Structure 1
Amino acid sequence: MKKLTGNGLWESSRMMLFEHKDAIISKQEHKQIQKRPVLDEQQTERIAEKLSQAYRSKQQVQVLVFGDYGSSRMRGMISRIDPQLQRIRLGNTWISLSDILDVSGENERFASETD
């Protein structure tokens, strides 16, 4: 085997096994997974009240939804609330109440947003 002149590696050491590549990718993905924030009782009650009020008055809401790789925002009208399974239906999507981090009305900002 001959030594490469530029980086000092042997030609044969430039090869990577599939298992090694998969392990590197898996480690990178696990680093990016976010931990679920813990909401206090007051925040949870405020979210429940806003959802209930929007459902009764048929107002459009914007919901901040927790995700493993980052939170997302969803907007729509709440068409159903399922208290047994602890979820709401926003448009055509069911969202678990435990995944909701914040709720705002049509023209409001999230409480977590600051100027």
Structure 2
Amino acid sequence: MSEHLRRGNKLWESSRMFLLEHKQALMNRKLKQKEFQQPFLDQDHYEKLNRIIMDSIKNEQSITITYSDTYESRQFWCWITKINQHENWLKFMNEEDVPILNLERILDVE
């Protein structure tokens, strides 16, 4: 084999330079691909969620809420203190620092 074919990676060594803007755009695209896509929920499921939440408020029982976060679904337990259906949010009380949750992000309630 001739000497010019055995030079390893030297031919492409100069193409390793990455502009900061390109690196940031590539990282943003990878994060966008990892984002959690909320599943489609039908009307029956929303009625079930509503019934469980109303029973929880009426009986002052704690419930477990599964909600969609940016990159995954998360779960926590709480006592619901207030619902505002016009502004589409839910206020609750638990040991975490998330006092208000958007109703559209709720996936399941137990």
State whether TM-score is above 0.5.
yes
Matched to 2:31, the amino acid is E
Q: Which residue of 1 aligns with 2:105?
A: 99
After superposition, where does 1:53-72 map in structure 2 within 5 Å? 53-72=55-74
- State the identity as a percent: 28
- Name the CA distance, whole Å, in 2 between partners of 1:20 and 1:97: 37
- Pairwise CA RMSD: 2.0
String of CA shifts for 1:15-45, please: whole Å, max 9, x gaps.
2110110121011011112222111111000
**Structure with more helix by fraction:** 2
Q: Compute the TM-score of the two structures, normalised by the length of structure 1.
A: 0.78
Give the paired residue count: 102
- Name the CA distance, whole Å, in 1 between partners of 2:8 and 2:76: 51
After superposition, where does 1:81-100 map in structure 2 within 5 Å? 81-91=83-93, 93-100=99-106
With over 3 angstroms needed to count, the CA separation of the structure-2 counterparts of 1:5 and 1:60, relative to structure 1, is farther
- Name the CA distance, whole Å, in 2 between partners of 1:38 and 1:49: 19
C-alpha contact 1:75 1:90 (8 A) present in aligned 2:
no
- Name the CA distance, whole Å, in 2 between partners of 1:55 and 1:5: 73
| Bigger radius of gyration | 2
> 1:8 deviation in Å?
4.4
Q: Secondary structure at the match of 2:79?
A: strand
With over 3 angstroms needed to count, the CA separation of the structure-2 counterparts of 1:11 and 1:41, relative to structure 1, is same
String of CA shifts for 1:32-63, please: whole Å, max 9, x gaps.
12222111111000000000000111111110
Q: Secondary structure at the match of 2:65?
A: strand
After superposition, where does 1:3-82 map in structure 2 within 5 Å? 5-82=7-84
String of CA shifts for 1:72-99, please: whole Å, max 9, x gaps.
1121111111122122112251112111
- Name the CA distance, whole Å, in 2 between partners of 1:64 and 1:28: 25
- Name the CA distance, whole Å, in 1 between partners of 2:11 and 2:23: 19
Matched to 2:15, the amino acid is S
